[in-house]
Structure 1
Amino acid sequence: MPPKIARSYVLIASACAVFWPGSFIFGFPGMLRQHWQQAFNADGGAVGGTVFFILAGATCFMYLCGRWQETYGPGKLAAFGAVTGGGSTLWLSQAGNMTEVYIWAFSIGASSAFVYLPGLTVVQRWYPERRGLVAGFFNMSFGLSAAAISPVFTLLLSKWGYERLTLGAGCAALSIGLVASALIRFPAADQPTAASAASTDNASRSVKEALRTREFWCLWFTWVFAGAAGASMLVLASGFGLARGLSLSRAVVLLTAFNLTNGFGRLISGYFSDRIGRSRTMAISFLCAGLAYLVMPYPTGLWLWAALAAVIGFAFGTLFAVSGPLAVDCFGMGHFGAVFGLIFTAYGFVAGPLGPWLSGQILDATGGNYTLVFSLLGMMYFLAAGLILVVQPWRECRM
């Protein structure tokens, strides 16, 4: 098979494999919330705990998958992720309490690490000349998966019920994931893209070397601040709309706008990062999101608020889409998985839980002062913009 055709199959297979973990992570907690509350007599906080376990599962295994993929190969890890994700969703159909739901949440988070990190590594090795674009495409499949499949899940839930929906979704994730994993592999040594990847590997920094660099820690704290600011909008968008007098159906438009640009924006920012630079692309998006947060409490009108939420969603998607290629620029491809896995701990262990929790605490303490909360989140994006401009490609750092 010609290399250009082969790498197209690899890119599509990687996107298909990561689609299912994304659809479960971003779709099931919201869609099945009511069922879990009624079936297990759980309150909103207990159901919301699924997000914590999803993040914990993903973060605990992200670094390990980065190390294991070089030993066992990306295809085997992706296959294991498909078995874990699809199998745990099959098992979810018989869950009898929230503890078992939490086990599913941790398992689906872990399965995403086994698929996401190998897939992100593979597509960049096959397309060394367009790493930003293919990383953006891959991330778009992950981020938009729930938006694409949730209407189908909702329809099947009403027609089939909870048990048949989870069984059907689990079977689909398992079968498609295993087929896709067979195509997920590193370039062969006799292919041109492999030569490019090999030369990159020879110039790679080890994990210990990366940890001693300014670039690593600036990237890590960028994920703390930009990750916390972006993740907060996921839980604040609808509440802000309700606080401003919108009905629930209209308030959800803000969240929809955020999610759309969070998904589609990943492809756009990845494309531009190949042309104007990774750090510059991220800094521009973070500055715009910071300004959007500062302005958001003041204009009145659904569509103005939705447009500002969309700007914030674009910046959140950019963080995911461009950070991987930027890490390759700074540390090389040879140990990318392990290095990026460590960078991701900033989001999984700090930013993801901290941003929504801190925002909620401030709102409770101030009686719903969104101006204060949004000002704080805007400043986080400004800090992230400053930090990411410090991060420069390795070849520039050594000059």
Structure 2
Amino acid sequence: MDTNRKWIVAAGAALAIVVAGAFSTLAGLLVGPLHEELGWSRSAVGLGSLVNMVVYGATAPFAAALMDRVGMRKVAVGALGLVGGGALLATTMTAPWQFVLYWGVLVGLGTGATATTFAATVTERWFVARRGLVAGLLTAASVVGQFVFLPLLSWVIDAWGWRAAAYGLAFAAAGALPLVYAAVRDPDAAPLHVRADKAIKPDKAVRTAQTVNFLRSGPFWLLAGTFAVCGASTNGVMWTHFAPAAHDHGMPTTVAASLLSLIGIFNVAGTVSSGWATDRFDPRRLLAAYYALRGLSLLALPPLLSATVDPPLVAFTLVFGLLDVATVPPTIALCRAHYGTGAPVVFGWVSAAHQVGAGSVAYVGGVVRDLFGSYDLVWVGAGVLCAVAALLALVIERGQRRPCSSGALSTA
């Protein structure tokens, strides 16, 4: 396998992930503008975010299967077309249901197809050594898209309105599309164990049995449960509600977006470091530590929010940033340990749980704000969920990676 070729593919995948990731967090900046300009309630905007995250999560496993059928290039290019089209249509919105359709469904489909499942598929097909590190790097690309551009998008919204930000992201997707098409491809020859597995060509009944197999396994549900909490405590609260919550305390939205961007910067270091650690240490214990520390940081957040940025709040952004997406490499590693070459599809279903948790808290957070005039209960609830996830992570069996030579997914 050509070394240069695989890194070109990884770079193309990273570009697609970065661009799609920028769409994932824009919704959090739209809460205020849509409420003020169109008169929509925060819960109505939260419903659009809920649909976006659920569609995102539901798309991931099917996108992984579609990559097996038509290839990674076509799926990545199609995903960029969906996010760009959804953003353009969103500029014409006049009713909440349109936000649900354009941003919730279309952008959700596109971002879901280029989610962490895409990173897992690229890693599985193109890399053998240092898979944890590569998974961490591609996950960090998602973080760059989600957070690094937030201050710029916030500034654009303040200067020219939310529609200008949507136009900008649509043009970014259009610009990235030919580059991704040129870079991303499937390997000419799969590794021996993958070729052997594909040579079996299981029929529909066997594929259905494979699905039921992993759905009946304990490790899958434990991984899905912990990753649902991961989504609830990141996408659900931070990406959707941090900026409006900080604004409630008098902080300008652009400053809050800059703090989210700072979280994104630390995310890169945390995710890459987590990938390195996953190659060397027990991923179950890593997950337990990540969730426990994340929960403590969320419980500490409410008294830190104010109109200004002070050292304790900066310390929070550092800690939360290091922990935010650090859960992805060990979760992928555990999927691989239990399900072998079926790991990308299984991780897609685990990612679906992540987005269900994220979307639920995104919606509930808006409802709580409308009812109580504060987000404090949301932070506390997310912290408690993280404590539960830390305990669940320790219960997951260690697993032992083995190829699925019999055509059935491994459930060690």
For normalisation by structure 2, the TM-score amounts to: 0.79
Counterparts of 1:368-379 in structure 2 under 5 Å?
Answer: 370=376, 376-379=381-384
Residue in structure 1 matched with residue 407 of structure 2 by the alignment = none
Q: Deviation digits for residues 358-399 of structure 1, max 9, x if unmatched?
A: 5677788888694x7655533422321222232423349988
Residue in structure 2 matched with residue 348 of structure 1 by the alignment = 355
Partner Cα separation in structure 2 for residue 70 and residue 98 of structure 1: 36
Partner Cα separation in structure 1 for residue 262 and residue 271 of structure 2: 14
SS at match of 1:337: helix
Residue in structure 1 matched with residue 19 of structure 2 by the alignment = 20
CA contact (8 A) 1:128 1:196 kept: no
1:16 CA displacement: 0.3
SS at match of 2:188: coil
Asked whether 1:392 is paired with 2:410, we answer no
1:318 CA displacement: 1.7
Counterparts of 1:285-364 in structure 2 under 5 Å?
Answer: 285-294=290-299, 302-333=310-341, 335-349=342-356, 351-356=357-362
Partner Cα separation in structure 2 for residue 157 and residue 294 of structure 1: 30
Partner Cα separation in structure 2 for residue 35 and residue 251 of structure 1: 15
* Relative contact order higher in (CA < 8 Å, ≥ 6 apart): 2
Residue in structure 2 matched with residue 149 of structure 1 by the alignment = 149
Give the letter for the 2:181 counterpart.
Answer: S
1:180 CA displacement: 0.5
In structure 2, stretches of 5+ residues that fail to align are: 201-206, 403-409
CA contact (8 A) 1:55 1:109 kept: yes
1:282 CA displacement: 1.7
For normalisation by structure 1, the TM-score amounts to: 0.81
Larger mean Cα displacement after TM superposition, 307-316 or 274-283? 307-316
Partner Cα separation in structure 2 for residue 246 and residue 257 of structure 1: 19
CA contact (8 A) 1:257 1:307 kept: no
SS at match of 1:215: helix
1:382 paired residue among 383, 387, 397: 387
Distance 1:196-1:305 versus aligned 2 partners, 3 A rule = farther
CA contact (8 A) 2:25 2:239 kept: no
SS at match of 1:16: helix
Give the letter for the 1:66 counterpart.
Answer: A
In structure 1, stretches of 5+ residues that fail to align are: none
Q: Deviation digits for residues 167-191 of structure 1, max 9, x if unmatched?
A: 45323302413431343233221x7
Residue in structure 2 matched with residue 5 of structure 1 by the alignment = 4
1:76 paired residue among 74, 77, 80: 74
Partner Cα separation in structure 1 for residue 197 and residue 257 of structure 2: 45
Identity of aligned residues (%): 21
Partner Cα separation in structure 1 for residue 231 and residue 225 of structure 2: 9
CA contact (8 A) 1:119 1:184 kept: no
